[in-house]
A and B are shown apart, each in its own frame.
Chain A
Amino acid sequence: MEEQKNKNKQSLKKILSNNWFIIKLSFQTAPFFMIYMIFEAVKQRCLVFLEHTYGIKFVLEAAEYQKPFIVVVRFLLIVFAAWAISFIFSGIYQNRVSQKGLPKIQKRLKELMYERVKALDLECYDDPTYYNEFVLSLSEAEKSITRTHQIIEAFFGGVTTLITSGIFFLTTDSPSVLFVLGSFGLTFFFAQILNKVNYKNRIEKNPEERKRTYIHRVFYLNEYAKEIRLNPDMSERLYEEFDTTNDNLYLIEKSYAKKRTGLQFLVNYVTNDFISDVIYITYLVYRAAIMHAISYSSVVVLWNSSGSLKNSLRNISRIFPQISENSLYIEKIRNFLNYETKIISTKNLPMPNVPKTLEFKNVSFGYNKEDGNILHNVNLIIHPNQKIALVGYNGAGKTTLIKLIMRLYDPSEGEIRYNGINIKDYNVKEYRNMIGTIFQDFKIFAASVSDNVILDYMEDALKSKREKEIRHALTFSGFDYKLNSLPQGLSTELTTEFEEDGVDLSGGESQKLATARAFYKDARMVILDEPSSALDPIAEYQLNETMLQAAANKTVIFISHRLSTTRNADRILMLEHGQIIEEGTHEELLELKNKYAAMWKAQAGKYVDIE
């Protein structure tokens, strides 16, 4: 019902302006394609009319009134030729003009949207309603274009048929138009009712169908296969759910059976076939046999083409609901394009070249109002080249803290300063570029090894110039041994997404590759967000060693569960409930004999007491 209501709420102006947005974009990007499209729609309907309606009448009447044969020949030769030329035009349209025009328009819209994606604030991803709209608008972008084009075609095609057939009906037997209009009007009326019934039916089925889809996923996805096998009772439990769901759906459908049967009969037969095959034909016969008002040929032709006139009316009548629906999607796309990035810099100050002090001043932050703040009044100074460790339980706010440092979010209260200046005043791109981050949930892209290190578009010539640096970064991160085993070295395509012979890396290898990104970037500050979770102990140990070696003149911030990783830090910050509760070197914190010491004991106790 919600959707239905929204549809009604849109003002006509909004509907037109939204559709106009895509129409304008299409005409600006590919004017030739768009004009060709309209030309095709009009041309096709004209020729169909010429052949199916006018042509048959012409030939039949020529025979009825015994006109000379040459007249028929001349006429049909024109039709022959018209089609021959028309099909050439259609072919070029179908297989060339539209094949290039459509992607061009799609590309234009996608480019606009991608630019926005890049500038979108990360908080948009946290807000599920906004995120859903965003995903929907991206996935609907191409369909919106196609829909708009279909509407344009339907409109011009419908109008052409309406004009040609309409004139034909009016000139041949004007009262006939009433039958067509009557049939159309009644069908339209009952179809509206049927649509409403079907809509209600869909809404009613929705929750049950969602359940069915879920069960489907469980039996279908590899992830669940193991559990299903080891817990056979689970599938019985799900079957039970599946049976009830289907029984419920059956009952819903059953409750609609009578209403639907009746409406189907009205829509498909009474208002359509019955009017044309019983009432209208009786009228035509009466006109021809009793009143002698029309020729026999006209009876055949009028009866045969009443359908196409009615269809043209139906197609035109559908345009309004179509543009209203289309407008809903385009609205989402436009909203998205109009999104104003919150994380921007007004002053765009340049970044200093060497590491400087980073300072948190009374920083509080929450992702949204309902859940409250995650960080409470945090004060913190990180000196250049310091090695800082963030430790604490799950959910203490460690990851949130580094997201603020990276300026993926801005603090709700307080400020973060770099070199004494609020980080909001630095150029955002430059500021973020200063930081190299190795995420826990890093991603490997379906691109070459070097692209995956550079993470930017770079021309091949420049890439080979930088090869040394890329290799250096990979060696540092411990990826070199894997690199040597790759068939095409740095140009090896990763993932089997596109390339049959693409290489899928293991978890540990991927992590090493992701680590190389930070080395390559030569960042002044390196943040490691639990970088070692996919590594086994020895690999973790090696990574830590190289990390520290390479980061001598960098500021480093570690987050780790493994206290062994963090104990060598210059300063350890223990977080709890969004506050720094303990701070100092490992030894200092142990002496405190408080939370950190307890955590350390829990983890290290067993290793330590053996010696």
Chain B
Amino acid sequence: MKKQPEIKKTRALKNNLYCVRLMWDISRGAVIHAGLMTAFNYIAWVFYSAFFIKYLVGALNRADSFSDIFRYILLAGGFFMATAIYYAYVEGAYIPMAGVKVYHKLYRKLYQKARNVELRCFEDSSFYNKYTLAVDGANEKLIQVIINLFGIICGAIAATVVFTQMFHIDKTAVLFVFFPIIGNFVFGYIYNKYLFNRDRAMAPYKRRIEYVNRVMYLADYSKEMRLSNVFYLMKYKYLKAIDGIFDVVDQYAFKINLPLWFRNYFTFTIIFEGVLLYGAYRTIVGKTMSLSELAVLSSIMVSATWILIRFAENILESMKQGLFIENLRTFLEYEENLPEDYDGLTPEPEITSIEFRNVSFGYKKEEYIIKNLSFRIEGKKSIALVGHNGAGKTTIIKLLFRLYDPDEGEILLNDKNIKEYNLKAYRSLFAAAFQDYKVFALSIKENVLMRKGTPKDDTLVIEALKKAGVYDKVMTLPDGINTNLTKEFDEQGAQLSGGEFQKIVVARAFAKNVPIKVFDEPSSALDPIAEYDLYESILKDSFGKTMIFISHRLSSVRNADMVYMLEKGTIIEQGSHIELMDLHGAYADMYQKQAKNYLAVESLREVTA
């Protein structure tokens, strides 16, 4: 038990050093200026509260000439005016400018990492949480870490100087310093621990309150809220959460106040009144302390207390930051299992075969989505994957794209394990349209090309949009194919319907001249006519290419060269549509069920009866 926090502390120290190194690489100036600024701050503080007062009261007592004192004041003023000019420059000019640079360089680094880690990281919630925490406001947090670190160093030096001064005046008085140390580091520690525990105990209730709030304002819930009484359920949950918070408050009310009282009393009252009492005794009764020494002592004691408090705060802050740094570091130092810049052979553009050999895979351990799957596709064929929800169709596509590596078995392209290829070159063999598409806040043209376009690309883009059946719509927009999508940062940006967005995404696959095209339910948001047209286009476009598609609607599957019926991660039937219908198995059953509705076998009345 005792060793654990110690290990943590060395790790915390290392983490802080890591931050300094990181920041040093990004901007040396920022590190140096942060250090100088903190130092000047403490110098001014210690100087005026200890040395200046000491000189002043001494000079007054000695009845030095006014001009001498004035000269001293001006001298000090001159020095600190110089530092103030420096300070104003750093704060007014340097920090805002360096802030942009730090943001730029740091986030470039983070984005680079984010795009290089394997997709799995995004789906692993513990990794993703760490990533989110690391990335959120990382630039400001990083600067804070540095400033805080200098705060600890300068605070320690300042405290030593101030205590030495106190010691010079009176050897005993310095003992009073132990009170704020105990107050802050013993009682303050206990208090913070209770506070932390209380917050943790309250957190689930606070999350409930936030959830209810969200349900109340999100448009997604608005209809249910009006058409059902779920409002009362939510209100009840809210009231329960408030009761929960009250219970936690009661539970902690007494025990949390005890260390708080001691912390306050030790940190402020005892040293403050104690030093005054002691100093007054030495001056009035013992006559061993001069008035000026008493005045200086009272002034030093105030700053000593605050320097210590600040010091304790800095240390506490540094502990808190430790978590952020830990997350940042874990993320940046993460070693990719499947790095996006994975190097290897350049694949032949002529596809002769794709093969899955005994492939097993699961997103979570022990939960296989794909089990011992084997199949071989000859090049330039059209392939349909069909099956129930959760049968593993989309997972197969993801494995094929090498977004994941199989847990067991291997995937081969042209009879070579796909792991042997350069990942970028390998992926560039494919073009894909997914059902969970995303459009970017860029022009339609760039959204189709998925890269920076030149005027030369215009015909390519227009052709693709025509094939996807959305060209007419695009031409009604003010800037045609150069219209920006979404209103994200263009007030004039086009907000299209779900179906239109989907068509633009499908156009991506048409615009790419690649040997393998993949369509994963490309028509989910389309109406029947549009869907029909789209499948015609897809079939026409994929002539002479390898084409893989997933569809719920079996009528669109019929023209595929090969149909694979999947169930629970394995292929249960395979063959052409006609062969599978002759099998009278699961595929035929599914097909007939769908077809039956179109064939008017039973009327509604018969079903109801």
Contacts and interface: CB of A to CB of B under 8 A. Distances in A.
A455 B604 contact: no
Nearest to B508: A231
A606 B315 CA distance: 72
Interface stretch (B156-164, B278-286, B316-324, B541-549): B278-286
Interface string A441-453: 1110111000100
B363 to A, nearest CB: 13
Contact of B122 (A64, A225, A564): A225
Given A240-B452, A565-B597, A548 B224 contact: no
Contacts of A110: 213, 238
Nearest to A258: B93
Contact of A69 (B61, B280, B554): B280
Contacts of A302: none
Interface stretch (B172-180, B268-276, B365-373): B268-276
B497 interface: yes
Contacts of A406: 227
Given A60-B294, A95-B249, A455 B229 contact: yes
Interface stretch (B18-26, B68-76, B146-154, B455-463): B68-76
A88 B262 CA distance: 10
A230 B430 contact: yes
A100 B299 contact: no
Contact of B80 (A207, A257, A277): A277
Contacts of B104: 242-243, 246, 250
Nearest to B554: A537
A107 interface: yes
A394 B523 CA distance: 13
Given A138-B213, A299-B60, A277 B489 contact: no
A52 interface: yes
Interface in B362-409: 387-390, 398, 401, 403
Interface stretch (B5-13, B94-102, B343-351, B412-420): B94-102
Contacts of B554: 537, 607
A378 interface: no
Given A261-B88, A261-B89, A598-B529, A457 B53 contact: no
A567 B211 contact: no
Contacts of A135: 217
B264 A90 contact: yes
A548 B604 CA distance: 8
A1 interface: no
A12 interface: no
Interface string B459-496: 00000000000000000000000000000110000000
Nearest to B388: A536
Interface string A226-245: 11111111111111111100
Interface stretch (B28-36, B353-361, B434-442, B568-576): B434-442
A603 B264 contact: no
Contact of A207 (B219, B221, B401, B489): B489
Interface string A42-66: 0000000001100110011011101
Contacts of A582: none
A497 B232 CA distance: 19
A232 B53 contact: no
Nearest to B89: A261
Contacts of A290: 66
B92 A260 contact: yes
Contacts of B452: 233, 236-237, 240
Contacts of B498: 394
A232 B213 contact: no
A279 B427 CA distance: 73
Interface in B89-128: 89, 91-93, 96-97, 99-101, 103-104, 107-108, 110-111, 114-115, 119, 122-123, 128
Contacts of B193: none
A561 B528 contact: yes
Contacts of A313: none
B108 A63 contact: no
A262 interface: yes
A443 B73 contact: no
Given A79-B273, A84-B269, A232-B424, A541 B264 contact: no
Interface string A73-116: 10010011001100110111011100110011001001101100
Contacts of B388: 536, 538-539
B230 A456 contact: yes
Nearest to B48: A277
Contact of B528 (A59, A107, A282, A599): A599
Contacts of A66: 284
A408 B389 CA distance: 33
Interface in A286-301: 286, 288-290, 296-297, 299-300
Interface residues of A, number: 176
A322 interface: no
B182 interface: no
A35 interface: no
What secondary structure prevails in chain A residues at the interface with B? helix
Interface stretch (A166-174, A177-185, A212-220, A416-424): A212-220
Interface string A412-441: 000000000000000000001001010101
Given A235-B111, A253-B97, A300-B299, A408 B76 contact: no
Nearest to A523: B227
Nearest to A521: B228
Contacts of B298: 56, 59-60, 300
Interface string B53-93: 10011001101001001100110110011001101110111
Nearest to A263: B92
B291 interface: yes
Nearest to B221: A443
Interface stretch (A157-165, A267-275, A350-358, A480-488): A267-275
Interface string A282-324: 1001101110000011011000100000000000000000000
A194 B35 CA distance: 25
Contacts of A610: 558, 581, 595
Contact of A506 (B57, B257, B389, B427): B389
A235 B107 CA distance: 13
B235 interface: yes
Contact of A100 (B60, B246, B497): B246
A219 B530 CA distance: 32
Nearest to A51: B272
A265 interface: yes
B93 A538 contact: no
A260 B77 contact: no
A406 B223 CA distance: 10
Nearest to B103: A246
Contacts of B281: 69
A494 interface: no
A91 B261 contact: yes
B39 interface: no
Contacts of A122: 222-223, 226
Contacts of A467: none
B136 to A, nearest CB: 9
A330 interface: no
B204 interface: yes
Residue with the highest number of chain B CB atoms closer than 10 Å, among A125, A225, A238: A225
A118 B225 contact: yes
Nearest to A441: B220
Contacts of B340: 229, 232
B283 A457 contact: no
Given A226-B434, A233-B452, A604-B598, A447 B107 contact: no
A510 B237 CA distance: 21
Listed from nearest, the 8 A-B pairs whose CB atoms lie closest are A564-B597, A260-B92, A568-B604, A233-B451, A257-B93, A456-B229, A265-B88, A269-B84
25 contacts: A51-B273, A56-B298, A60-B294, A76-B277, A91-B260, A104-B242, A134-B217, A233-B452, A237-B452, A241-B442, A250-B100, A261-B92, A263-B92, A268-B91, A274-B84, A289-B60, A300-B57, A406-B227, A455-B228, A456-B229, A498-B208, A539-B388, A541-B597, A598-B529, A610-B558
